[in-house]
Structure 1
Amino acid sequence: MKMSNRIKHWVFGAVLSVSSIALQAQTLDFPHINTTGYGEVLAEPDMAEFSVQVVMVQESAEQAKQQADKAVDDFLQQLQAFGLPREDIKSGNIQLLPQMHYPKNAKPEQKGYRAVRKVKVTIDNLEMLPKLMDIALKSGVNRIDRVQLGVKDPSKYQAIARSEAIKDAKLKAKSVAEGFDKTLDEVWQVNYQSAQARPMLSRSMAMDSSERANSYQDTTIVIKDRVEVIYKLK
Protein backbone atom coordinates (compact mmCIF):
# COMPACT_ATOMS: atom_id res chain seq x y z
CA MET A 1 0.00 0.00 0.00
CA LYS A 2 1.47 3.36 -1.03
CA MET A 3 1.79 6.22 1.45
CA SER A 4 0.58 9.60 0.21
CA ASN A 5 2.95 12.58 0.18
CA ARG A 6 0.77 14.29 2.80
CA ILE A 7 1.16 11.38 5.23
CA LYS A 8 4.89 11.19 4.53
CA HIS A 9 5.26 14.87 5.40
CA TRP A 10 3.25 14.41 8.62
CA VAL A 11 5.40 11.46 9.73
CA PHE A 12 8.62 13.33 8.94
CA GLY A 13 7.35 16.38 10.85
CA ALA A 14 6.48 14.22 13.84
CA VAL A 15 9.97 12.74 13.90
CA LEU A 16 11.47 16.21 13.85
CA SER A 17 9.21 17.30 16.70
CA VAL A 18 10.17 14.35 18.86
CA SER A 19 13.85 15.03 18.17
CA SER A 20 13.42 18.67 19.13
CA ILE A 21 11.70 17.72 22.38
CA ALA A 22 14.48 15.29 23.24
CA LEU A 23 17.07 17.96 22.50
CA GLN A 24 15.27 20.51 24.68
CA ALA A 25 15.13 17.98 27.53
CA GLN A 26 18.91 17.84 27.49
CA THR A 27 19.31 21.62 27.57
CA LEU A 28 20.46 22.97 30.91
CA ASP A 29 17.87 25.43 32.26
CA PHE A 30 20.02 26.89 35.04
CA PRO A 31 23.10 29.16 35.10
CA HIS A 32 26.19 27.06 34.51
CA ILE A 33 29.71 27.02 33.15
CA ASN A 34 31.31 24.28 31.09
CA THR A 35 35.08 23.92 31.38
CA THR A 36 37.74 21.48 30.22
CA GLY A 37 40.86 20.80 32.25
CA TYR A 38 44.11 19.47 30.82
CA GLY A 39 47.01 17.84 32.61
CA GLU A 40 50.25 16.24 31.55
CA VAL A 41 53.28 14.69 33.15
CA LEU A 42 56.72 13.98 31.71
CA ALA A 43 58.14 10.54 32.39
CA GLU A 44 61.54 9.07 31.68
CA PRO A 45 61.20 5.75 29.84
CA ASP A 46 62.34 2.71 31.79
CA MET A 47 61.45 -0.05 29.29
CA ALA A 48 61.32 -0.59 25.55
CA GLU A 49 59.83 -2.88 22.96
CA PHE A 50 61.33 -3.31 19.52
CA SER A 51 60.29 -5.33 16.49
CA VAL A 52 62.61 -6.63 13.79
CA GLN A 53 62.23 -8.68 10.62
CA VAL A 54 64.33 -11.12 8.67
CA VAL A 55 63.55 -11.01 4.95
CA MET A 56 65.27 -13.49 2.64
CA VAL A 57 64.78 -13.89 -1.11
CA GLN A 58 65.96 -17.06 -2.85
CA GLU A 59 65.15 -19.07 -5.95
CA SER A 60 63.35 -21.78 -4.00
CA ALA A 61 60.96 -21.54 -1.08
CA GLU A 62 63.04 -24.03 0.91
CA GLN A 63 66.24 -22.01 0.51
CA ALA A 64 64.50 -18.80 1.57
CA LYS A 65 62.97 -20.53 4.60
CA GLN A 66 66.26 -22.05 5.70
CA GLN A 67 68.10 -18.73 5.55
CA ALA A 68 65.35 -16.86 7.42
CA ASP A 69 65.14 -19.56 10.11
CA LYS A 70 68.91 -19.58 10.55
CA ALA A 71 69.10 -15.80 11.00
CA VAL A 72 66.24 -15.82 13.53
CA ASP A 73 67.67 -18.79 15.44
CA ASP A 74 71.07 -17.09 15.65
CA PHE A 75 69.43 -13.91 16.91
CA LEU A 76 67.38 -15.76 19.56
CA GLN A 77 70.43 -17.66 20.80
CA GLN A 78 72.45 -14.47 21.15
CA LEU A 79 69.59 -12.74 22.97
CA GLN A 80 69.42 -15.54 25.52
CA ALA A 81 73.21 -15.63 25.82
CA PHE A 82 73.01 -11.91 26.56
CA GLY A 83 70.78 -12.77 29.51
CA LEU A 84 67.38 -11.88 28.12
CA PRO A 85 64.54 -14.09 29.48
CA ARG A 86 62.79 -16.23 26.88
CA GLU A 87 59.37 -14.89 27.89
CA ASP A 88 60.48 -11.42 26.77
CA ILE A 89 61.14 -12.68 23.25
CA LYS A 90 58.34 -13.46 20.80
CA SER A 91 59.12 -14.91 17.36
CA GLY A 92 56.46 -15.21 14.71
CA ASN A 93 55.81 -17.97 12.20
CA ILE A 94 57.50 -17.79 8.83
CA GLN A 95 55.70 -16.33 5.84
CA LEU A 96 56.54 -17.60 2.36
CA LEU A 97 55.48 -15.46 -0.59
CA PRO A 98 56.28 -15.52 -4.30
CA GLN A 99 58.72 -12.79 -5.23
CA MET A 100 57.13 -11.03 -8.20
CA HIS A 101 58.82 -8.88 -10.81
CA TYR A 102 56.79 -6.35 -12.78
CA PRO A 103 58.64 -5.39 -15.99
CA LYS A 104 57.40 -2.42 -17.96
CA ASN A 105 54.97 -3.34 -20.75
CA ALA A 106 55.18 -7.03 -19.94
CA LYS A 107 53.39 -9.59 -17.82
CA PRO A 108 54.40 -10.00 -14.17
CA GLU A 109 56.78 -12.87 -13.59
CA GLN A 110 57.89 -14.75 -10.51
CA LYS A 111 61.52 -14.39 -9.47
CA GLY A 112 61.91 -16.83 -6.60
CA TYR A 113 60.44 -16.72 -3.12
CA ARG A 114 60.52 -14.33 -0.19
CA ALA A 115 60.61 -15.62 3.40
CA VAL A 116 59.72 -13.28 6.26
CA ARG A 117 59.99 -13.85 10.02
CA LYS A 118 59.32 -11.30 12.75
CA VAL A 119 60.73 -11.05 16.26
CA LYS A 120 59.47 -8.80 19.07
CA VAL A 121 61.66 -8.13 22.11
CA THR A 122 60.81 -6.41 25.41
CA ILE A 123 63.52 -5.09 27.73
CA ASP A 124 63.47 -3.26 31.06
CA ASN A 125 66.92 -1.71 30.77
CA LEU A 126 67.38 0.95 28.09
CA GLU A 127 71.17 0.70 28.30
CA MET A 128 70.82 -2.73 26.65
CA LEU A 129 68.95 -1.38 23.63
CA PRO A 130 71.85 -0.22 21.39
CA LYS A 131 73.77 -3.44 22.05
CA LEU A 132 70.74 -5.56 21.15
CA MET A 133 70.33 -3.60 17.93
CA ASP A 134 73.90 -4.39 17.01
CA ILE A 135 73.35 -8.07 17.84
CA ALA A 136 70.26 -8.11 15.62
CA LEU A 137 72.06 -6.65 12.62
CA LYS A 138 75.05 -8.98 13.02
CA SER A 139 72.73 -11.99 13.26
CA GLY A 140 71.22 -11.35 9.83
CA VAL A 141 68.23 -9.21 10.78
CA ASN A 142 67.76 -6.79 7.90
CA ARG A 143 64.84 -4.67 9.00
CA ILE A 144 64.12 -2.81 12.23
CA ASP A 145 60.41 -2.07 12.19
CA ARG A 146 59.85 -0.12 15.37
CA VAL A 147 61.40 0.93 18.65
CA GLN A 148 58.80 1.98 21.20
CA LEU A 149 59.79 3.38 24.57
CA GLY A 150 57.51 3.16 27.59
CA VAL A 151 57.17 3.06 31.35
CA LYS A 152 56.59 -0.03 33.48
CA ASP A 153 53.84 1.57 35.55
CA PRO A 154 51.90 4.00 33.31
CA SER A 155 48.94 4.11 35.72
CA LYS A 156 51.08 5.98 38.26
CA TYR A 157 51.82 8.76 35.80
CA GLN A 158 48.26 8.74 34.44
CA ALA A 159 46.95 9.41 37.96
CA ILE A 160 49.22 12.46 38.23
CA ALA A 161 48.09 13.79 34.84
CA ARG A 162 44.46 13.23 35.82
CA SER A 163 44.93 15.13 39.07
CA GLU A 164 46.49 18.04 37.17
CA ALA A 165 43.58 18.04 34.70
CA ILE A 166 41.06 18.25 37.57
CA LYS A 167 42.97 21.15 39.15
CA ASP A 168 43.09 22.91 35.79
CA ALA A 169 39.33 22.54 35.30
CA LYS A 170 38.64 23.95 38.79
CA LEU A 171 40.95 26.94 38.33
CA LYS A 172 39.52 27.80 34.90
CA ALA A 173 35.92 27.55 36.10
CA LYS A 174 36.60 29.74 39.16
CA SER A 175 38.49 32.34 37.16
CA VAL A 176 35.82 32.63 34.46
CA ALA A 177 32.99 32.77 37.03
CA GLU A 178 34.70 35.53 39.00
CA GLY A 179 35.27 37.43 35.77
CA PHE A 180 31.49 37.60 35.34
CA ASP A 181 30.88 38.39 39.04
CA LYS A 182 29.49 34.92 39.67
CA THR A 183 30.26 32.25 42.23
CA LEU A 184 30.73 28.56 41.55
CA ASP A 185 28.16 26.19 43.00
CA GLU A 186 28.29 22.38 43.01
CA VAL A 187 29.52 20.21 40.15
CA TRP A 188 26.57 19.19 37.98
CA GLN A 189 28.27 16.85 35.52
CA VAL A 190 31.71 15.34 34.85
CA ASN A 191 32.71 13.75 31.54
CA TYR A 192 35.90 11.76 31.64
CA GLN A 193 37.60 9.26 29.35
CA SER A 194 41.02 8.03 30.30
CA ALA A 195 43.74 9.02 27.85
CA GLN A 196 46.65 6.84 26.77
CA ALA A 197 50.36 7.48 27.14
CA ARG A 198 51.94 8.45 23.84
CA PRO A 199 55.61 7.47 23.90
CA MET A 200 57.92 9.14 21.43
CA LEU A 201 59.44 6.78 18.89
CA SER A 202 63.11 6.65 18.12
CA ARG A 203 63.76 7.91 14.62
CA SER A 204 67.31 7.28 13.51
CA MET A 205 68.95 3.88 13.22
CA ALA A 206 72.03 5.27 11.48
CA MET A 207 73.77 6.39 14.67
CA ASP A 208 76.53 4.46 16.34
CA SER A 209 75.88 2.61 19.60
CA SER A 210 76.89 5.42 21.96
CA GLU A 211 74.80 8.03 20.11
CA ARG A 212 71.77 5.74 20.08
CA ALA A 213 72.16 5.07 23.79
CA ASN A 214 72.10 8.79 24.55
CA SER A 215 69.11 9.41 22.27
CA TYR A 216 67.06 6.67 23.97
CA GLN A 217 67.88 7.89 27.46
CA ASP A 218 67.15 11.51 26.58
CA THR A 219 63.72 10.67 25.20
CA THR A 220 60.76 11.87 27.26
CA ILE A 221 57.30 10.34 27.32
CA VAL A 222 54.40 12.78 27.60
CA ILE A 223 51.36 11.34 29.37
CA LYS A 224 48.26 13.53 29.04
CA ASP A 225 44.76 13.54 30.46
CA ARG A 226 41.66 15.72 30.28
CA VAL A 227 38.35 16.14 32.08
CA GLU A 228 35.19 18.08 31.19
CA VAL A 229 33.15 19.56 34.04
CA ILE A 230 29.88 21.48 34.23
CA TYR A 231 29.46 23.67 37.31
CA LYS A 232 26.29 25.31 38.47
CA LEU A 233 26.55 29.05 39.13
CA LYS A 234 25.08 30.83 42.11
Structure 2
Amino acid sequence: MKHTVIAALLGSVVFAAAPVFADVPDFPHLETVGVGEIIAVPDMAEIHVQVVVTEPTAAAAKQASDKAVASFIAKLKKAGLSDKDIQSANINLQPQYLYQQGKTPELTGYQASRSVTVVVRELPMLNGLLDSALNEGINRINNIEFKASNMEALKAQARTAAIKDAQAKAKAVAEGFGEELKGVWQISYMEQQPIRPVMYATARAMNDGVGESYQNAQITVTDRVQVTYKISR
Protein backbone atom coordinates (compact mmCIF):
# COMPACT_ATOMS: atom_id res chain seq x y z
CA MET A 1 0.00 0.00 0.00
CA LYS A 2 1.36 3.39 -0.99
CA HIS A 3 1.78 5.89 1.73
CA THR A 4 3.28 9.28 2.46
CA VAL A 5 6.48 9.23 4.48
CA ILE A 6 6.91 12.13 6.89
CA ALA A 7 10.50 13.11 7.49
CA ALA A 8 12.69 16.18 7.67
CA LEU A 9 16.27 16.31 6.51
CA LEU A 10 18.34 19.34 7.50
CA GLY A 11 15.31 21.54 7.12
CA SER A 12 15.53 21.48 3.33
CA VAL A 13 13.90 18.23 2.16
CA VAL A 14 10.62 16.86 3.50
CA PHE A 15 8.05 14.21 2.70
CA ALA A 16 4.63 15.89 3.04
CA ALA A 17 5.51 17.56 6.30
CA ALA A 18 4.99 21.29 7.00
CA PRO A 19 4.52 21.99 3.27
CA VAL A 20 6.42 24.85 1.75
CA PHE A 21 3.78 25.37 -0.92
CA ALA A 22 0.34 26.84 -0.59
CA ASP A 23 -1.31 23.92 -2.41
CA VAL A 24 -0.90 20.55 -0.73
CA PRO A 25 -1.24 17.57 -3.07
CA ASP A 26 -3.40 14.63 -1.93
CA PHE A 27 -0.99 12.01 -3.28
CA PRO A 28 2.41 10.73 -2.10
CA HIS A 29 4.97 13.43 -2.80
CA LEU A 30 8.34 14.81 -1.89
CA GLU A 31 9.19 18.46 -1.44
CA THR A 32 12.77 19.59 -1.89
CA VAL A 33 14.69 22.86 -1.90
CA GLY A 34 17.70 23.26 -4.15
CA VAL A 35 20.35 25.85 -3.39
CA GLY A 36 23.05 27.08 -5.75
CA GLU A 37 26.02 29.18 -4.72
CA ILE A 38 28.69 30.70 -6.94
CA ILE A 39 31.73 32.47 -5.50
CA ALA A 40 33.37 35.02 -7.77
CA VAL A 41 36.12 37.60 -7.69
CA PRO A 42 34.72 41.10 -8.20
CA ASP A 43 36.05 43.35 -10.94
CA MET A 44 34.18 46.53 -9.98
CA ALA A 45 32.85 48.31 -6.91
CA GLU A 46 30.23 50.81 -5.85
CA ILE A 47 31.29 53.27 -3.17
CA HIS A 48 28.95 55.33 -1.01
CA VAL A 49 30.53 58.42 0.55
CA GLN A 50 29.11 61.45 2.29
CA VAL A 51 30.03 64.91 3.46
CA VAL A 52 28.53 66.19 6.71
CA VAL A 53 29.33 69.73 7.83
CA THR A 54 28.02 72.06 10.53
CA GLU A 55 28.20 75.83 10.12
CA PRO A 56 26.68 78.82 11.93
CA THR A 57 24.26 79.57 9.08
CA ALA A 58 22.24 77.47 6.66
CA ALA A 59 23.85 79.19 3.69
CA ALA A 60 27.36 78.48 4.96
CA ALA A 61 26.54 74.82 5.61
CA LYS A 62 25.09 74.40 2.13
CA GLN A 63 28.05 76.12 0.55
CA ALA A 64 30.56 73.94 2.38
CA SER A 65 28.81 70.67 1.45
CA ASP A 66 28.33 71.74 -2.17
CA LYS A 67 32.00 72.68 -2.44
CA ALA A 68 33.18 69.30 -1.17
CA VAL A 69 30.89 67.40 -3.53
CA ALA A 70 31.78 69.55 -6.54
CA SER A 71 35.52 69.18 -5.86
CA PHE A 72 35.22 65.41 -5.51
CA ILE A 73 33.19 65.06 -8.71
CA ALA A 74 35.76 67.15 -10.56
CA LYS A 75 38.50 64.75 -9.39
CA LEU A 76 36.41 61.77 -10.47
CA LYS A 77 35.94 63.16 -13.96
CA LYS A 78 39.62 64.01 -14.18
CA ALA A 79 40.34 60.37 -13.33
CA GLY A 80 38.23 59.33 -16.31
CA LEU A 81 34.92 58.36 -14.72
CA SER A 82 31.78 59.12 -16.74
CA ASP A 83 28.68 60.99 -15.59
CA LYS A 84 26.60 57.79 -15.63
CA ASP A 85 28.81 56.30 -12.91
CA ILE A 86 28.45 59.27 -10.55
CA GLN A 87 25.33 60.11 -8.55
CA SER A 88 25.18 62.97 -6.07
CA ALA A 89 22.16 63.29 -3.78
CA ASN A 90 20.25 66.43 -2.94
CA ILE A 91 21.24 68.31 0.17
CA ASN A 92 19.81 67.50 3.59
CA LEU A 93 19.85 70.60 5.78
CA GLN A 94 18.90 70.48 9.46
CA PRO A 95 19.06 73.09 12.26
CA GLN A 96 21.11 72.06 15.29
CA TYR A 97 19.95 72.86 18.82
CA LEU A 98 21.51 72.72 22.25
CA TYR A 99 19.03 71.25 24.73
CA GLN A 100 19.43 72.04 28.42
CA GLN A 101 17.01 71.15 31.17
CA GLY A 102 14.69 74.01 32.07
CA LYS A 103 15.86 76.19 29.17
CA THR A 104 14.55 76.97 25.73
CA PRO A 105 16.47 75.04 23.04
CA GLU A 106 19.27 77.19 21.64
CA LEU A 107 20.01 77.22 17.92
CA THR A 108 23.72 76.48 17.51
CA GLY A 109 24.02 76.15 13.74
CA TYR A 110 23.01 74.13 10.72
CA GLN A 111 24.14 70.71 9.56
CA ALA A 112 24.24 69.96 5.84
CA SER A 113 24.89 66.54 4.34
CA ARG A 114 25.22 65.26 0.80
CA SER A 115 25.94 61.75 -0.44
CA VAL A 116 27.80 60.62 -3.53
CA THR A 117 27.62 57.15 -5.07
CA VAL A 118 30.36 56.15 -7.50
CA VAL A 119 30.66 53.05 -9.67
CA VAL A 120 34.32 52.13 -10.00
CA ARG A 121 34.86 49.86 -12.99
CA GLU A 122 38.61 49.42 -12.46
CA LEU A 123 39.40 48.15 -8.98
CA PRO A 124 43.05 49.33 -8.98
CA MET A 125 41.63 52.88 -8.94
CA LEU A 126 39.54 52.32 -5.83
CA ASN A 127 41.93 53.30 -3.06
CA GLY A 128 43.08 56.40 -4.93
CA LEU A 129 39.50 57.55 -5.39
CA LEU A 130 38.79 57.08 -1.69
CA ASP A 131 41.83 59.17 -0.86
CA SER A 132 40.59 61.85 -3.28
CA ALA A 133 37.22 61.88 -1.55
CA LEU A 134 38.83 62.54 1.82
CA ASN A 135 41.19 65.15 0.42
CA GLU A 136 38.32 67.08 -1.14
CA GLY A 137 36.33 67.32 2.08
CA ILE A 138 34.22 64.14 1.94
CA ASN A 139 34.40 62.98 5.55
CA ARG A 140 32.40 59.76 5.62
CA ILE A 141 32.93 56.51 3.74
CA ASN A 142 29.69 54.68 4.40
CA ASN A 143 30.41 51.43 2.56
CA ILE A 144 32.08 49.78 -0.39
CA GLU A 145 30.07 47.18 -2.31
CA PHE A 146 32.05 44.87 -4.57
CA LYS A 147 30.38 43.58 -7.75
CA ALA A 148 31.06 41.62 -10.91
CA SER A 149 30.45 42.93 -14.41
CA ASN A 150 29.23 39.49 -15.56
CA MET A 151 26.51 39.30 -12.91
CA GLU A 152 23.83 37.91 -15.25
CA ALA A 153 26.06 34.98 -16.17
CA LEU A 154 26.79 34.33 -12.48
CA LYS A 155 23.06 34.40 -11.69
CA ALA A 156 22.43 31.84 -14.44
CA GLN A 157 25.16 29.57 -13.04
CA ALA A 158 23.70 29.81 -9.54
CA ARG A 159 20.21 29.03 -10.85
CA THR A 160 21.45 25.96 -12.75
CA ALA A 161 23.28 24.77 -9.64
CA ALA A 162 20.11 25.20 -7.54
CA ILE A 163 18.07 23.14 -10.00
CA LYS A 164 20.65 20.35 -10.03
CA ASP A 165 20.81 20.44 -6.25
CA ALA A 166 17.04 20.03 -5.97
CA GLN A 167 17.08 17.13 -8.42
CA ALA A 168 19.96 15.36 -6.67
CA LYS A 169 18.39 15.73 -3.23
CA ALA A 170 15.03 14.46 -4.44
CA LYS A 171 16.53 11.41 -6.12
CA ALA A 172 18.76 10.51 -3.15
CA VAL A 173 16.00 10.90 -0.55
CA ALA A 174 13.41 9.01 -2.60
CA GLU A 175 15.78 6.10 -3.21
CA GLY A 176 16.75 6.08 0.46
CA PHE A 177 13.11 5.45 1.42
CA GLY A 178 12.52 2.94 -1.35
CA GLU A 179 10.41 5.36 -3.35
CA GLU A 180 10.57 6.35 -7.01
CA LEU A 181 10.19 9.81 -8.49
CA LYS A 182 7.29 10.05 -10.94
CA GLY A 183 7.76 13.53 -12.31
CA VAL A 184 7.47 17.10 -11.10
CA TRP A 185 4.12 18.26 -9.72
CA GLN A 186 4.99 21.84 -8.83
CA ILE A 187 7.93 24.25 -9.06
CA SER A 188 8.15 27.40 -6.97
CA TYR A 189 10.83 29.91 -7.85
CA MET A 190 11.48 33.45 -6.70
CA GLU A 191 14.65 35.20 -7.81
CA GLN A 192 17.00 35.82 -4.93
CA GLN A 193 18.93 38.92 -4.03
CA PRO A 194 22.05 37.27 -5.35
CA ILE A 195 24.92 39.28 -3.97
CA ARG A 196 26.35 39.04 -0.51
CA PRO A 197 28.87 41.86 -0.93
CA VAL A 198 31.92 42.48 1.13
CA MET A 199 31.53 45.88 2.77
CA TYR A 200 33.96 48.14 4.52
CA ALA A 201 32.28 50.31 7.15
CA THR A 202 32.98 53.97 7.69
CA ALA A 203 36.52 55.29 7.79
CA ARG A 204 38.39 52.04 7.17
CA ALA A 205 42.17 52.27 7.17
CA MET A 206 43.31 54.88 4.68
CA ASN A 207 46.95 54.25 5.57
CA ASP A 208 49.81 53.62 3.15
CA GLY A 209 49.99 50.16 1.61
CA VAL A 210 46.31 49.25 1.85
CA GLY A 211 45.44 49.71 -1.83
CA GLU A 212 45.79 46.05 -2.71
CA SER A 213 43.49 45.02 0.14
CA TYR A 214 40.55 46.43 -1.80
CA GLN A 215 41.20 43.93 -4.59
CA ASN A 216 41.04 40.77 -2.47
CA ALA A 217 37.30 40.60 -1.85
CA GLN A 218 34.86 37.90 -2.89
CA ILE A 219 31.19 37.99 -3.74
CA THR A 220 28.72 35.13 -3.43
CA VAL A 221 25.80 34.75 -5.81
CA THR A 222 23.04 32.45 -4.54
CA ASP A 223 19.77 31.09 -5.90
CA ARG A 224 17.18 28.58 -4.74
CA VAL A 225 14.26 26.61 -6.18
CA GLN A 226 11.50 24.60 -4.48
CA VAL A 227 10.16 21.52 -6.22
CA THR A 228 7.42 19.02 -5.40
CA TYR A 229 7.81 15.56 -6.95
CA LYS A 230 5.24 12.81 -7.28
CA ILE A 231 6.51 9.54 -5.76
CA SER A 232 5.55 5.90 -5.84
CA ARG A 233 7.08 2.56 -4.95
Query: Which TM-score applies when normalising by structure 2?
Result: 0.83
Task: State the secondary structure of the residue aligned to 2:138.
Answer: coil
Q: Structure 1 residue 51 and structure 2 residue 52: aligned? A: no
| Offset of residue 194 of structure 1 | 1.0
- Which residue of the other structure, out of 121, 140, 152, is the alignment partner of 1:124? 121
| Offset of residue 202 of structure 1 | 2.2
**Separation of aligned partners in 2, 1:180 and 1:163:** 26
Change (3 A) 1:71 1:47: same
Amino acid at match of 1:44: V
- Which residue of the other structure, out of 196, 199, 211, is the alignment partner of 2:197? 199
- Which residue of the other structure, out of 214, 219, 223, is the alignment partner of 2:212? 214
Change (3 A) 1:158 1:108: same
Bigger helix fraction:
1
Q: Report 1:12-91 matches (<5 A).
A: 26-91=23-88
Larger-gyration structure (1/2) = 1
Q: Structure 1 residue 157 and structure 2 residue 154: aligned? A: yes
| Offset of residue 104 of structure 1 | 4.6
Paired positions, count: 209
- Which residue of the other structure, out of 183, 187, 195, is the alignment partner of 2:184? 187
Change (3 A) 1:105 1:165: same
**In the alignment, which residue of structure 2 is the partner of 1:8?**
none
Amino acid at match of 1:74: S
Query: Which TM-score applies when normalising by structure 1?
Result: 0.83
CA RMSD of aligned residues (A): 1.8
**Separation of aligned partners in 1, 2:223 and 2:99:** 49
Amino acid at match of 1:187: V
| Offset of residue 131 of structure 1 | 0.3
**Separation of aligned partners in 1, 2:189 and 2:141:** 37
Structure 1 residue ranges without an equivalent (≥5): 1-24
**In the alignment, which residue of structure 2 is the partner of 1:231?**
229
Task: State the secondary structure of the residue aligned to 2:128.
Answer: helix
| Offset of residue 122 of structure 1 | 0.9
Q: Report 1:103-114 matches (<5 A).
A: 103-114=100-111
Percent of pairs identical after alignment? 45
Equivalent residues of 2:144, 2:198 under 8 A apart: no
Q: Report 1:131-142 matches (<5 A).
A: 131-142=128-139
**Separation of aligned partners in 1, 2:94 and 2:23:** 57
Equivalent residues of 1:72, 1:141 under 8 A apart: yes
